[in-house]
Structure 1
Amino acid sequence: MIKRRDFLINSGLALGALAIAPSFAFTSRKKAIGIQLWTLRETLPKDVKGVLAQVGKVGFNEVETFGYSPKNGFFGTSVKDFKSMLCDNGLKATSNHFDFNGYIENGSTESLKSYIETANILGSEHVTVPYILENLRGKSIDDYKKLALKINQAAEICKASGLKLAYHNHAFEFEKFESTTGYEVLLNNTDKNLVDFELDLYWAVRSGNNPLQLFKDHPGRFKMWHVKDMDKGNPDWNAEIGTGTIDFKSIFAQAELAGMKRFFLEHESNYKPNPIESVAVSYNYIKNNLI
């Protein structure tokens, strides 16, 4: 199975009950259900058109992309053709995971310009930082402040082109530095008018944090979520939504406090041999129980 870290390196791209008032407001809006296409990373590169058709057939409205290359587009599919395939299946790429490691390392904006052009062709709203390589991660509060500065600068460039920048977390951002964490430093030192956060609910919980407390401490900052469950037997594994240990009902009840505008289902590890069937199980749980 491909790991996200390995993909970036090898590709060179490089709590409340449901009766709480906010949950009523959220339910009545009936949010679109999105999917992070990394979920289908084993099959998508081999058959872009066919897999996007499967995604549309399940019922998804939105996707979040991964794997874009300025030279090869999306796995050999041009951006314009990729958009056409999305439209043919009733899908829209509202957010995109692009590799920011080169920008973070040397400050070059050449790749960022390509990302912005791609996002605008797709009609997206967000350009998203998905993962920071280990050698570039902050090892101190000052390191994370420098990272926040770079994120702010990239967000300014995105804003000039009508896009928002978002930051997606894993577990390492929650490492403690004195009385704070790298994630807190990023939240406190990025411009809330420029930078949104895509909260990966699994990694927040996996690292010992309560998403509801994050919502209270930083209301309105978490415009996007990654929704993936934690296996009951092995917390390192994911589970189909609703079968694991994460209490999504209490989390979705606080969507308004979080500022959540959209979310993406993701299966990152330990999914069934037929990933699209597993995705359909999670999709149906979300549709019938969370929105």
Structure 2
Amino acid sequence: MISRRNFIVTTGLAATAVLAAPSFAFSMNKKEIGLQLYTLRDELPKDVKATLEKVSKAGYTNVETYGFSIKEQFWGLTPKELKKILDDYNLKAVSGHYNLGSFLYDGDKTELLASIEAAKILKSEFLTVPWVDEPFRRSIKDYKKIASRLNEAALLCQNSGLKLAYHNHDFEFQKYDGKTGYQVLLDQTDKDLVFFELDLYWVIYSGNDPVKLFNENPGRFKMWHVKDRDKVNPALNTEVGNGTIDFKTLFKEAKQSGMLHFFVEQENNFAVNSFESIQKSCNFISKNLI
């Protein structure tokens, strides 16, 4: 146990170091770079271990999982087996995308409870809802029902030491009688229980401004998806720093957003292959954004 005197001495030395070298203060607060593993969806099922080794070597320290199901688990691996591989390469699964089965539509908790257990084994911080099927998001009433389910799931997550987040695409910004589905989710969910993972690409693609969302809903966007928009075809992704999105301006608003973690994601249009693309994105972020 550290004594009070040693604590004062230690913190005093740290403060002196910060004054002597301001860059040290920045490095203490430097955010880790995460990768949404869906980027490597063609490689992971073939060889999880080799793929995650390359993720680590590229400079990533955090990952966000995807694709869990009760039957298939994670690409044929149990959560415990996946956790062991992540540990071997010093990777942390701070979040995961879990589809939750039919819970959002009919309240069946089977897949939700299994997802919570998997996320606990991985020692994740967030369980993230990645998608809502089209038949269940056609009206304000539908979005109110989704918000209610998110509140319910968030309570279950909280009881298990997890936080619930919702990840957007562009469809949430469609308006119904002048109001977007996304605004319904922000308004109708418990601010202390339900958080948001803002996909910056999809917000901008939909014609909206992430900074406006940050200012109107400060602190609610605990995670970001960072993927760039191709200069020639805006419907395609590109490596971070190689497209049209002004990430430098957005990263200056991280505090207003409440951002704790961010994940590079690239769904298509890889420079040469997905591994080279994640390396280029990581290099740009480490040199220019954090």
TM-score (norm 2): 0.89
Worse overlay, 273-282 or 215-224: 273-282
Separation in 2 of the partners of 1:290 and 1:272? 21
Q: Do 2:126 and 2:162's aligned partners in 1 also have CA atoms closer than 8 Å?
A: yes
1:137-196 Cα offsets, whole Å, 9 max, x none, are 2x2222211110011011111111111110000000000112220001100110010001
Code of the aligned partner of 2:98: F
CA–CA distance in 2 between the matches of 1:163 and 1:28? 25
The answer to whether structure 1 residue 88 and structure 2 residue 61 are counterparts is no
Kindly provide the amino acid, as one letter, of the partner of residue 59 in structure 2.
G
Distance 1:28 1:205 in 2: 31
> Where in structure 2 are there 5+ consecutive unaligned residues?
1-24
Give the secondary-structure state (helix, strand or coil) at the position aligned to 1:94: strand
Amino acid corresponding to residue 162 of structure 2 in structure 1: L
- Point out 4+ residue stretches in structure 1 off by more than 3 angstroms: 25-28
Structure 1 residue aligned with 2:225 = 226
SS in 2 for 1:196: strand
Q: Distance in 2 between matches of 1:100 and 1:171?
A: 20
Is 1:142 aligned to 2:141, yes or no?
Answer: yes
Give the distance between the partners of 2:267 and 2:201, measured in 1 at CA: 10
Residue 28 of structure 1: how far off its partner (Å)? 5.6
Does 1:41 find its partner at 2:38? no
Q: Report the alpha carbon displacement of residue 101 of structure 1 after superposing the two structures with TM.
A: 4.5
Report the Cα distance in structure 1 between the residues aligned to 2:231 and 2:30, rounded to whole angstroms. 29
The C-alpha deviation readout for 1:209-254, integer Å capped at 9, x for no partner, is 0000000010000000000000010000001101101000000000
How is 1:113-132 mapped onto 2 (pairs within 5 angstroms)?
113-132=113-132
Q: Deviations over 1:29-67 (max 9, x none)?
A: 100100000000011111111100000111111100001
**Match in the other structure for 2:238:** 239
Partner residue in 1 for 2:201: 202
d(CA) in 1 for partners of 2:27, 2:89: 25
Query: Residue 185 of structure 2 aligns to which amino acid in structure 1?
Result: L
Mapped partners of 1:130, 1:182: distance in 2 = 15
Deviates more, 1:117-126 or 1:66-75: 66-75
Counterpart AA for 1:211: P
Superposed displacement of residue 73, structure 1:
1.6
Matched residue type, 1:235: P
Q: TM-score by structure 1 length?
A: 0.89
Secondary structure of the structure 1 residue equivalent to 2:195: strand
Query: Contact conserved, 1:101 with 1:132, CA < 8 A, in 2?
Result: no
**Aligned length in residues:** 266
Superposed, which structure 2 residues align to 1:67-86 within 5 Å?
67-86=67-86
Cα shift at 1:85: 0.4
Q: Which amino acid aligns with 1:81?
A: E
Task: Note the C-alpha offset of 1:133.
Answer: 1.3
Determine which structure has more spread, i.e. the larger CA radius of gyration: 2
Q: CA deviation at 1:71?
A: 2.1
Equivalent position of 1:14 in the other structure: none
Is 2:238–2:271's contact at 8 Å kept on the other side of the alignment?
no
Aligned counterparts of 1:26 and 1:253: Cα–Cα separation in 2: 14
The whole-number CA distance in structure 2 between the counterparts of 1:156 and 1:182 is 22
Letter paired with 1:162: G
TM alignment of 1:174-189, pairs within 5 A: 174-189=173-188
Structure showing greater relative contact order (alpha-carbon pairs closer than 8 Å, 6 or more residues apart): 1
**Equivalent pair of 1:101/1:136 in contact (CA under 8 Å):** no
In the TM superposition, residue 27 of structure 1 has moved relative to its aligned partner by 7.2
C-alpha deviations, 1:57-112, integer Å up to 9, x for none?
11111100001121222111121110010010010101010113411122111111
Among the aligned pairs, what percent are the same residue? Answer: 54
RMSD of equivalent CA atoms: 1.2
Give the Cα–Cα distance (whole angstroms) in 1 for the partners of residues 94 and 268 of structure 2: 23
Structure 1 portions without partners, runs of 5+: 1-24
Change (3 A) 1:26 1:196: farther
Distance 1:266 1:26, change over 3 A: farther
Deviation sequence 1:99-142 (CA, Å, 0-9, x none): 134111221111111111111110001111001111222x2222
